[in-house]
Chains A and B, each alone.
Chain A
Amino acid sequence: MQEKYLGEFEQMVMLAILKLADNAYGVSIRELLIDAIGRDVSVGALYTTLERLEKKGLLTSSQGEAIAKRGGRAKKFYAVSGQGKQALNRSKNALETLWQGIQLKQKALYA
């Protein structure tokens, strides 16, 4: 089977879902991305990524109950599948391997 590689934003979304555990849905994922890494993504960007990852089999989803403060609409909760965890591990290992022996000096950031 062909190995699945993840983009940077895909990894961020999947890690956010893992951190949020049972409470991973659109609003909480966006809030965590803002609080943790200061990245304010649009709802559209988030949901296109979630849809893509779900289609690839890296995420699973389940429907919550309708809530009044959401205009009577249900939440869609996401969880990282076994395949998703494997893909995350692969990406982490690949990045760690590539980072070995590299040290960026603070000055280099502004070069």
Chain B
Amino acid sequence: MHNSAPLKQPEDEALSKALANKLLAWSLPESLVDAVIGDLEETYLLKQQQGQASIVLQYWYWQQALNLAYRFMPTTQRGLIMFILSLVVFLSMMVFGMAMGADVYAFIDVPSAMLVFPPAIFFAIAATSWQDFLFAFGCVVSEKGEFCEEELIQSRRVFSVLGNTAIWCGGITTLIGWVAMASNIRAEEFSSVIGPAFAVSILTFYYGAIVKLICYVAEQRIASKMLN
């Protein structure tokens, strides 16, 4: 007969298990969370009392946790998986389109990105709050129905402000770029300068449109949660 008193666990062991338990709490149906984690804890303790090495036990615990997450996620996190898949497909198609049309590096410009992303995030936080901003992302990735209507409305507002601000910032900075181009360009260098300058100036609008599209999908995901 084995001793049923829990053994003292080292800190890193407890942390590793806590992480695995978080994954389980996220991926399992609510009705199973306690039963499954309890079963894993009980079996872990039994194996520990049988003298199995800590590393073996950690490996076993994570193996079981990942197996459970893999089996239950398609049902409990279906919406999130579809959201991530749609983003991956969209980004892959975008990169494919960029690679087919021109050099991919032609679409990457750090100053243009700095003119769109930080202001959009800043405006979204200013219009709501830092807590609401972080909460909105949690609301999109969580599949469990623990959010009240007010929280969903606020989260939807975060994505609405973020998307709209991004596209407005992109549009305005594109116009600024055109004004700068028009006021500085001379007739003799027109044909050699206009192409690259125009391409760079329109990148901000492009970045803004991408953010808007992703925010639109996130908004619709929250809207469907409100209907449910």
Contact = CB atoms under 8 A, between A and B. Distances in A.
B5, B29, B35, B68: most-surrounded residue (chain A CB, <10 A): B35
B38 interface: yes
Interface string B44-68: 0100000000000000000110011
Contact of A43 (B6, B31, B45, B68): B68
23 contacts: A26-B36, A26-B39, A27-B39, A27-B42, A42-B63, A42-B67, A43-B40, A43-B43, A44-B70, A44-B71, A47-B71, A48-B72, A51-B32, A67-B42, A69-B6, A69-B41, A69-B42, A69-B45, A70-B38, A71-B38, A73-B35, A74-B38, A76-B31
Given A43-B64, A44-B70, 13 more contacts: A26-B35, A30-B43, A43-B36, A44-B72, A48-B71, A51-B32, A66-B34, A68-B6, A69-B45, A70-B38, A74-B35, A75-B38, A75-B39
A47 B45 contact: no
Interface of A: 25-27, 30, 42-45, 47-48, 51, 63, 66-71, 73-76
B68 A47 contact: yes
Contacts, number: 72
Given A44-B71, A48-B71, A67 B38 contact: yes
B217 interface: no
B35 A76 contact: yes
| Consensus secondary structure, chain B interface | helix
B4 interface: yes
Interface residues of B, number: 24
A70 B72 contact: no
B38 A47 contact: no
B214 interface: no
B37 interface: yes
Nearest to B5: A69
A66 B34 CA distance: 9
B37 A71 contact: yes
A33 B210 CA distance: 53
A28 B135 CA distance: 40
Contacts of A71: 37-38, 41
Contact of A27 (B32, B43, B71): B43
Contact of B64 (A42, A67, A69, A74): A42
Contacts of A63: 34
Contacts of A69: 4-6, 41-42, 45
